[in-house]
Every structure is written in C-alpha cells, then in structure tokens.
Amino acid sequence: MMGERVGDITGLREELILKSCKLAIKAHEKFPGKLYIYEKNRGSTEAVFAFAGSWLVDHWYSRKPFGETKVDASKFPSLRSIGRDEIALVNEAFSTRFEQLLIKSTLASEVEKAVSDRKQVVFTGHSSGGPMAILAAIWFLEKYVRPNIYQMHPYSVTFGSPLVGNRIFSHALRRENWGRYFINFVMRQDIVPRIMLAPISSTEEGLKLMHDFTSPKSQSFQHVPIGNSAAASAFFLSVMRNASSVASHAACNLMGCTNLLLETVSSFIELSPYRPLGTYIFCTGNGKLVVLDNPDAVLLLLFYCLQLSPEEQNAEFLHGIFRAHLVYESELQESLNMQNVIYIENLIDIPLSSDAGTNYAAATVNSALNDLGLSMKARLCLRAAGELEKQKLENQRRIGYYDAFRNQRDANDFNANVKRLELAGIWDEIMEMIKRYELPDGFECRKEWIELGTIFGRLVEPLNIANYYGHLKNEDTGPYMVKARPKRYRYTQRWREHAAMRHIGSSSETTFWAEVEELRTKPYSEVKDKVLRLEEQTFAWIRDGILGKDVLLDESTFTKWWRALPVRHKSGSCIASYLGN
Amino acid sequence: MEAFESSEMLATFLASTPLLEESWKLCHHANTALVQNFVVNRVGEVTYVAFPAVQNIGGANSCSRDSVALGTAAEGVFTAFNRHDEGEEPVMVHAGLLQLFLALYNTQIFRDKMSELVNESKSLVFTGHSVGGAIASLSALWLLSSLPKTSISTAVFCITFGSPMLGNESLSRAILHERWGGNFYHVVGQHDIVPRLLFAPSSPFIPQLHSFYQSRHLSLTTPYHAQLAVQLSNENKTELFHTVLAGLEGNSRGVSDLERSPFWPFGSYMFCTDRGSICMDNATAIVKLLYLMLATGSPTSCIEDHLKYNEYVGRSCLQYLMRTSFTEGSSIESSYEAGIALALQSAGINSHDPVYGLAKDSLKMANQVGCRRNLNNAKLAVDLSKFTPLRAQIEWYKAFCDDSDDQMGYYDSFKRRSASKRGNKVNMNRFRLALFWDKVIEMLKTNQLPYDFHMQAKYVNGSQFYKLLVEPLEIAEYYRSGMHKKKGHYIEHGREKRFQIFDKWWKDRKVGEEENSPRSKFANLTQDSCFWGRVEEARDCIYKVASEMDMGRRLLLLEKIEMFEQYASRMIDRKEVSKDVIAKNSSYNLFVGEWRELKSHLQPWPLQFTSFQDGGNMVP
C-alpha cells in the first residue's frame, strides 16, 4: 500500500513523467499555433507526443447538456461492452478535435515512424490536451497493439485533464487490461477534472474565466481578483453541486440502496454520463501522491476532495482552485523528489475516522486521506466502492466451478437433457450478472469462458432451435433470431467474435438451423440473396469443420430443403459438390 | 457483502438535484402571493405545479380524523384504486382533504391546465406546503392512475413539505403494488407537528391550530393580515404537543386496532434537521422516527417548525458544499454502524438522547427489510432456474405419452398409470413444484418479496406455464385417487388456492398485442388448465343421466353436458387444446363416444335442449 515508487506502480520512468509534464504544459502554451509538439531525438528510446489544450467552449461541448456521443466503432472497435453490445460514449467535442488532428497533422506518420524505430510511445496533455492524449493512446492500441503489429504498449499521461468517456469507456479499457497505461495526475483542488460532471449551461462562463485566468497572453493572467468574482463563485458552486449529484447517486448504488425513489428521480434530472478511466494519482498539495485505480472510488474522490471545511470558506480558496490547474510542473517535481506515495489498493479497510490508527500502515493511509480532506462520509463511500469490487470477484469465483460444464458432450438420454437445462440455467445466471455489470470487467475476455460458451452453444442451440420451430413458436412470437434467441448464445457469440477480432454477427454457425427454418417457410424468389449468403457461409463452415457433416445427410431438414430449390439455382451453387445429386 | 446504510446518502442526492429547491421556491410563491388554486412554473424540461398552503376550506372539515373510501367517495376519479381484494380494508383517505381536492378537480381551469401540461411536458412535479402538500399528493395520484401505463408518457413526481397524513395502510400498499412508491417524496421538518397530527385522537385545539397557521401564512402576504394573527397560548401548545406525542408513541409501537390511527405514510420521507437530512421508505420506520424525533422537541419547536421549511430547504441545498463533520465519538470501525451513526446525527438524534437506541433499531430494521427483499428476489430467481428441469421432465413425459402407441394422451396416461419409474418420477416432480410455488406464495403473503413481484413477467409467465402443464396432472391424480367421491368435483372442491392466484396474476398482467392471431397447429398446452376437470364433470353427468328419474334434474344434467360439448368444440376449433385432448383413447374422446351413445338413446325426446344453445356464455 505504501513505500513503492511512482515509477514502480505505473511502469513509467519518473524522468519520463516529468518530461511529459513539461512538454504538455509547453504544448498548451503554444496553442493555437501548434496542435501538438514532438521533439525528435534520435538517440532516445522514447517518443513523447504532447497535445495542446484549448479553452474555446466549442472545444469542450458540442451541444447541450453534456455533449456526449457514441464512439466511432470503426476506429475504436474495443470501446463497447461485448455481450450487451453497448457502444461507449465519448465527449463529441474532444473526439471531433482528435479526428481533425489525425487528418490535418502529421501525427499519424510521426507515430508510424516512432513505431518503426521501435520506440516507447507516450502521449501526454495538460488540461483539455489530456483527452487528446487519451484518445491518441486508444487509437494506437487499436491500430498497433490489438492486431499484434507492435507489442510495446503506449502510455497516456495527463495533467488536470477533464473526463472523456462514460462508464462503458472505462469498463472496456479495464476489460482489455489497458487501464494501467492511462495515468492521470490531478491536483486535489484543481477544478478542471470535475468540469465535465456539470452541464454546459452552468460551465460556459467558467470556461471563459479559466481562459482569461490561465492564458499568459491575457491581460488578467493569474491576476484576476478571482477570489471575489461572483462568476467564479457561481462556476465553482455549480460544478460542485453537479458533482455532488453524480457522486451521491453513484454512492447510493454502491451502498445497495433499495429505495425506488433513486430510480424515479434519475429520470427527472440528467446526470453527467462521464466517468474517470485508468489510474489516477491525486496530488495532495503537500507533496503526497495518492494512487487509485478503482473508477468508482476515483469518481467519489473527485467530488469529496473538493468539499470545504468551515475554515476554508474564503476568497483564497476560490483563487486556489483556479491556480491549482497551473502548478502541476512544480508540484510534481517536488512530489517525485519526496516519493511519499500511497497506493490505495484495499479500499475496504481504509480507516473511517480521521484520528484513528495505531499501526503505522493505517496511520499513513489515514494521513493521506486527511490531506485529501476526506470526511467519514467520504471514506464510507470509498469502502462501498471497494466492497462492490470484492463482490464482483466473489461472483466470478462462485461460478468458477466449470467442471459442471465439462461433461456436456453426449446429450441424448433423459438425464443428459436435464443436465443441459441445468447448465443453461447457470449460463443464464452469468448473462444476468454481465448485463448488470456484476462481474469483473475482464470476464468477457477470459479464454476459458469463451471456449465453454462456444462449445455449449454449438451443442445445445441447434436443439433449442428445433424445439422452437417444432412447436411453431415462430407463429406466436416471430423468427427465432429476432425474437427468441437467448442471451447465453447471443453474448457468447459476441465474445468469440471480439476475441477473434471479427465483425459482429460474422460467426453465427450455431444459428444455421434457425436460418434454414426461416428460409424454408418462404418462397425462393423472396429470399434468393439470403439463400446465396447462407450457402457461402455453409461452405466455409463445413470446410473449416465448424459445422458437422451431419447436416448433409439425406434426411436432414437442410438437405430436404436444398433439394427442393430450383434446379437452376442448385447447379450454380457452391455447395452442390457437398450435396451431390 | 457488508451492508451499508444509505438513507443519508439518498437525502444528499435529492438535495443536490434542482427538484427540491425549485419545488420549494414555487410553494413559497404560492403561499405568499395569495394564489387561488395553483401556480405553474417551467424550469428546463420539468414543469412544477404548486398548491398553496392556505386553502379556502369553506364547508370542508379538514380538522377531523374522518376518512372515506376512495373508491366510492370519488367514484371514477382514481381508477387504479377501484378494485380491492376481499378481506382487505378498502383504500381510505382523509375526507376533508379529498373534498378540497375534488372541489379543485371539478373546476374547468384545473382540467384544462392538466391536459395542457400532460401534452406539453415530459416531466411534471406536483408540490405543496402543508394542506397544499396533500392536494399535491392527490393530484399526482389522480394523474398517475389516469395516464395510460403502456405508452411512454409524462413522468409524475410529488414533493410535499410538512403535509398532513392522507390515507390508510391500504392506500400505502396499493401505491406500492402499482410501483409508485418512488414517486412520492414528503419533506418533514425536525419537529413539525402537522405531519404527525393525525396520529393523535382529535383534540379541541386542532381547529385553533389550523386558524393559527392560516393566519401565519396570511401574515406573510400583507402587513394587514399580520395584525390579525391568531395566537396560541402556551398551555394549548403544551397540550397539543403531549397529545400528539402520546398518539404517535402508541402507533409506533403497534397498539390495538381500536386505538390505532387510520392513517399511515406512503412513499418516501425526508427528515430535515439543522444537522442534515435522511430519507427512508419503510413506513413502520417512518412512523417510529416521526415519534422519536418529536420526542426530542418542545411544544414551541413543534409549532414553529411547520413554518421553517425555507430554512430547512435552503440549508439542505447547500449541504453538499461542506464536509460532514462527525462528532459522535471516533471509535466506530464497522461501515454499517458508522453509516447508522451518521444518519442519526443528521436526524438530530444524539447518542446521549434517551431515544437513541430505539432510533438505531428502527433504522436497522428498515435496512434489513429492504436488503432481505432484494436478496429473496435474487435467490428466488436462482431457485426458479433449478426448478425448470423438473418442469422440463414433465414436458418430456407429456411428449412421450402423446406420441405413445396406446394413444391415451398425457392426462389419461398419468391418470391410469401403473407403478412405473417414469410415472413415479413425474409424480415426485409434481409434488416438488407445488412446494416451490407454495413457498413463493407464502413469502409474498408475509411481505418478504418486492412489492411488484406479482407483476414481474418472469413469475407471471413461469406460474402460467406451470399451471397449464401441471394442473392436468393434479386433476388426474384427484380423480385417480377417487377424491371426487369424497369431496366433490375438482374445480369446485379440489382446486388448490395457488392456481386461483396464478389465474389472477395472468389476468392482471399487462397484455401486449400478441396472441390474437389464429393458431395453425394444436397448442403446446391446453390453454384452459381446468379442461380435464370439465371433461370429468361432463362424463359424470352422463353416468348420472342414466339413473336420474326426475325429469327436471335430468334436463339440467343434459343441459350441462350440452354446454360442455359446445365449449370443448370451440376450444378444439380454435386449436386452443393440446393434441392429448384429441388422442384416440383420451377421456375426452371417451366422453364424445358416450355422449353420442346417450344421445341416440334420447331419440324419443329429440333436441329438447336446443333452446339452451344460446346460453353457451355460461361456460368460461
């Protein structure tokens, strides 16, 4: 929990962190002249790309109230939940800015060069340059690391960055095991990382203020009497109020609140969708660094760290939260020298009251939490976040007895049928947990489960389909694929496709029979194209051994149906050789 | 997983949303601007409607404790509360408050404005202070029960400030059953006497209290009214305080029905104090806290707190800014205990108060009840999936019998089964499934499951499927063991209560557009689970006809058989029966044969009973 160095925890050399910080702040100052800076250095084994921030409101929000949009699935195919097939949300203004950057600048080619020189790539950004660094790192991961073109993971290091994506965004990064390559430094009292928790209507003025206050070209650089400005105060209050809504709503859910009110009220007010991602390092302001990687805990900390104590309620405080955005370089220099690092891994056991702790470890954690200004209420919330994480692991362990799944091969007699239904029950339970995000983020990427799901689907789903059409349920409810396909097959198919980096819906061999049954009920002229597609797929599946040859036996539904197709079609069919004549 | 106490966190969440602040702003305006009926204000997507605390009471007696049945006193207005189960008390509301609402409801301006708002706004918040709060609740209830459930329509929410109690426990339960519990939110000041008043037997001072508040509200509007302010003597205040405290204490302990107040809270309550606020939804715990918090107050504070919502709301809405300091000792290590201690601090109950222990107990009780309900629900889902294989075995048994060479079908194979392993197994499954469903019904009765359990599609469909599949076996077993000779026919004398409950669930479910298209094949399961019971009764009638000498009774029997025949052929025409019904050797086909035979003997009296053919609607 402590005594480690920042370099050990993050896997990134400390000089590199400092260098990134310097470059990031420099880049921000150069804007709008340059979109990013990259210092070419032949001898170095590292390539650091630093992105400029911007205070233009249009670069923060594309529309009311929060300006989020779905990520571009073609560029970021991993940014979704697999089973549910829910695409992550990203701040549209940030994402557009990044797209422009890719098109208009030489970034792509310079990165390509760095890759061919086998350099460690680092993307960095201060303020709204942070989101650019984060998106660039994901772009890199999708482009080079996932297809196994380049194995060295990139890093994204941000300083006082606003939030970029929603919870699916963060979930997807953790699932791919990429979370640790995203390192975010946040000054305890810097307001910028909290801005995205409030809607544009209440932060527009504030962004202009920030611009005047922080831009060296502005006349009022760091001299605005911001502590007494009504606009600054309104800005702070509204960010805090919205952050409070988001944090207490999250805390209620973490604490297992059962009151129906929570759900009703959530439909009346719009809460910010943005959530933190990756690893967060909070700077307490007196040289300590507190490291956390539980996204729920980080969200709660973003709010609770900024709460006031009675003695802080003055003009200096307000000035401080603006200034905090500008001191990263000096603060980091000092903190990295002191190496007073506290990595809070075990949230469940953090001390509750601010003066507790007889043993040394507890006292250290306690003093860090005190320096972050965490009340007992805040600490309780953090514990709840820890409990949820523990519960997810527990859920995973509970279903870990996959011996039960092993003997699912022969399935003919009465008892085997019972067994199969029991297994289906267990699968359904797993799917329900996945739907409610009650399993660890990485679950849908676990090889053994993808394999079990595939085997189970191939063995059992054809029987389900036969049963469905046998009882003419399609007349009651519609086609199997559209209306009745259980999650246990839909989700596992998507797992498989994601693992193999294939398109969604490209591997539906288990639903072969459903397709046959549907085509069977319709005249050939209506479904000609579909027949052709099915034949092509069938050809490939049989060739690759995915589909058993038993589908080609004389008495199979498939053969009977195919034989009844028009002669002209059959003679040109790619599977004619399989079926003979 | 360790439990957490979230009542304080929930209150923090609500106070940080604009809902609370905006509602109170409009209430305050309604109170001070001498608004006649109500005021409307739109903020972003949400429209607020506030009802003033000062109401022109006229003939309505809002001071007494009389209540009336909602279904009869306001017929056709609150459609959701019209039906009620036998043995349960009907939904009752305070007579005076209902009268006030109905007076408003019958005005053209109210009707016009409401239909305009429903069409124009996505979300509606009804709000009001004091009596205005009760009107807001009734308006929200009316709108909720009149909006169509299926279509996506306006979201309705109700926030009251210091509102008197409105209805009885049946109202509270009905609201939970409709899943509206989360739509009502009552803010109560620390010692405010008004929400507590109706727990006490009526006191001569209540009308006085009423005019006192009316004049205080009016005094806010003009200096002229301030001069006329009614005063309450200290003796009156003390008397009131003690009467209400005693009444509440009794009710919070659960006294005998005679002394019990007919009023009971519904929805959620937010208790506000100088130190914070907490929010709860367990009615028993709410009544306890109403009592325990008042016990820490005084005759003056209980009167004054009703007029202090401006301060309470203002403070709650800024609470997020400040760190919550915790002053009650520092040695707590359990998250759960710490959460409780924080909640009690926010409720203004200190560890040295005599009521501290009781308050702690009621918070814990509420937390456990909530958790257990969710836990039971989750566990039941797992249990249900474990029972699916038992059901599937019966299904396979059915398929086996229906396809077997003896052509008896499923019902008759089971009824006439000889000792076989397969038959025994199916019989065992029948028992175990019955036990499972009986357990579910028992848990529901004893309130251990979520309030809307009987509306969850999983259980409605599951129970229906169970009923269609297994009830024929129950009937077969009943006639096989000759129970009908001892107790009478199955449908009237032998049917388990659970099947009747499932009938009701199925009938009350939200029906989609499906299941109207004609079937092209016989149903998987006969859609009337009592079909075989009716077959047995009809066959019994045939036997009786032979020995019946009395012409009148004989005619009656023949009429019954005739009706059954029509019903059965209708079912078969529509393919609503499963193929076991028409199996060659099934009881139904035996009936058809016997009936044909009987009819041929009846030739001397040709078609005497054709006149009954139109009476076919007597069979369900």
Measure the CA–CA gap between A363 and A225, rounded to whole angstroms. Answer: 39
If you average pLDDT over residues B541-552, what whole number do you get?
84
If you average pLDDT over residues B367-386, what whole number do you get?
76
Q: Is residue B1 in some structural domain?
A: no
Ordered DSSP codes for B346-375: HTT--TTSTTHHHHHHHHHHHHHHHHHHHH
pLDDT of residue B553: 87
- One domain, residues B344 and B396: no
- Tokens found for residue B353: 């108060």
B306 annotated active-site: yes
- One domain, residues B349 and B456: no
Measure the CA–CA gap between B265 and B283, rounded to whole angstroms. Answer: 6
Residue that finishes a domain, picked among B314, B347, B373: B373
| Lowest model confidence (mean pLDDT) among A326-330, B223-227, B282-286, B374-378 | B223-227
* Closest-CA distance of chain A to residue B557, Å: 38
Ordered DSSP codes for B558-596: HHHHHHHHHHHHHHHHTT-S-TTTTSTTSHHHHHHHHHH
Query: Cβ of A393 under 8 Å from any chain B Cβ?
Result: no
Q: Is residue B382 in some structural domain?
A: no
pLDDT of residue B66: 80
pLDDT bin (cut points 50, 70, 90) of residue B152 is low
Contact B321 A240 (CB under 8 A): yes
- Tokens found for residue A498: 């994601």
ipTM above 0.90, yes or no: no
Range of the domain at B232: 7-373
- Tokens found for residue B619: 């069979």
Whether the predicted pLDDT of B543 surpasses 90: no
pLDDT of residue B291: 94
Q: Which of residues 429-448 of A touch B (CB under 8 A)?
A: 429, 432
If you average pLDDT over residues B544-571, what whole number do you get?
88
Q: Is residue B498 in some structural domain?
A: yes
Query: Cβ of B370 under 8 Å from any chain A Cβ?
Result: yes
CA distances from A162 to A75, A185, A338 (A): 22, 11, 27
Residue that finishes a domain, picked among B349, B373, B397: B373
> What's the whole-model pTM score?
0.84
Residue with token string 């009478």: B488
Residue with token string 């197994």: B425
B112 or A412, which is more confident? B112
If you average pLDDT over residues B524-553, what whole number do you get?
87
Ordered DSSP codes for B310-329: HHHHHHHHHGGGB-----S-
CATH label of the domain that carries residue B119: 3.40.50
**Residue B495 CB neighbours (<10 A):** 19
**What mean pLDDT, rounded, does chain B reach?**
84
- One domain, residues B541 and B494: yes
Residue B2: closest C-alpha in chain A: A387
- One domain, residues B337 and B424: no
pLDDT bin (cut points 50, 70, 90) of residue B267 is very high
Whether the predicted pLDDT of B276 surpasses 80: yes
Measure the CA–CA gap between A356 and B339, rounded to whole angstroms. Answer: 17
- One domain, residues B361 and B247: yes
pLDDT of residue B159: 97
- One domain, residues B344 and B392: no
* Closest-CA distance of chain B to residue A17, Å: 33
**Splitting chain A (581 residues) into consecutive groups of 10 residues, what average pLDDT does each group show?**
75 91 88 81 88 90 91 93 92 95 92 93 95 97 92 95 96 94 95 94 87 72 68 90 95 88 87 96 92 95 89 78 89 89 89 72 86 90 92 78 47 59 79 85 88 82 76 70 82 88 72 81 84 85 75 77 84 78 50
- One domain, residues B447 and B369: no
- One domain, residues B339 and B414: no
Ordered DSSP codes for A318-344: HHHHHHGGG-HHHHHHHHHHHTEEEE-
* Closest-CA distance of chain A to residue B323, Å: 5
| Lowest model confidence (mean pLDDT) among A413-417, B207-211, B400-404, B605-609 | B605-609
A367 annotated active-site: no
Q: Is residue B126 in some structural domain?
A: yes
Q: Is residue B2 in some structural domain?
A: no
Start-to-end Cα distance in chain B = 50
- One domain, residues B516 and B578: yes
- One domain, residues B130 and B103: yes
Mutate to test the interface with A, among B1, B2, B10, B13 (most CBs of A within 10 A): B13
- One domain, residues B233 and B143: yes
Residue that finishes a domain, picked among B373, B406, B425: B373
If you average pLDDT over residues B554-581, what whole number do you get?
89
Contact A375 B514 (CB under 8 A): no
Share of residues in chain B with pLDDT > 70 (%): 87
pLDDT of residue B226: 58
Q: Is residue B381 in some structural domain?
A: no
Q: Is residue B223 in some structural domain?
A: yes
B377 or A167, which is more confident? A167
B451 or A87, which is more confident? A87
Residues from chain B that touch A422, judged by Cβ atoms under 8 A, are: 386, 389
Give the range with max mean pLDDT: A348-357, A479-488, B223-232, B354-363: B354-363
**HEC letters along A255-277:** CCCCCCHHHHHHHHCCCCCCECC
Measure the CA–CA gap between A374 and A363, rounded to whole angstroms. Answer: 14
Measure the CA–CA gap between A203 and A242, rounded to whole angstroms. Answer: 11
Domain count, chain B: 2
Q: Is residue B619 in some structural domain?
A: no
- One domain, residues B421 and B359: no
Decide if B193 contacts B237 (C-beta within 8 A): no
| Lowest model confidence (mean pLDDT) among A388-402, B8-22, B458-472, B552-566 | A388-402
| Lowest model confidence (mean pLDDT) among B57-61, B488-492, B580-584 | B57-61
CA distances from A224 to A229, A323, A325, A328 (A): 8, 11, 15, 20
Query: Which uninterrupted H or E stretch holds B140?
Result: helix B131-146
| Lowest model confidence (mean pLDDT) among B95-99, B249-253, B341-345 | B249-253
Whether the predicted pLDDT of B514 surpasses 80: no
**Residue B573 CB neighbours (<10 A):** 10
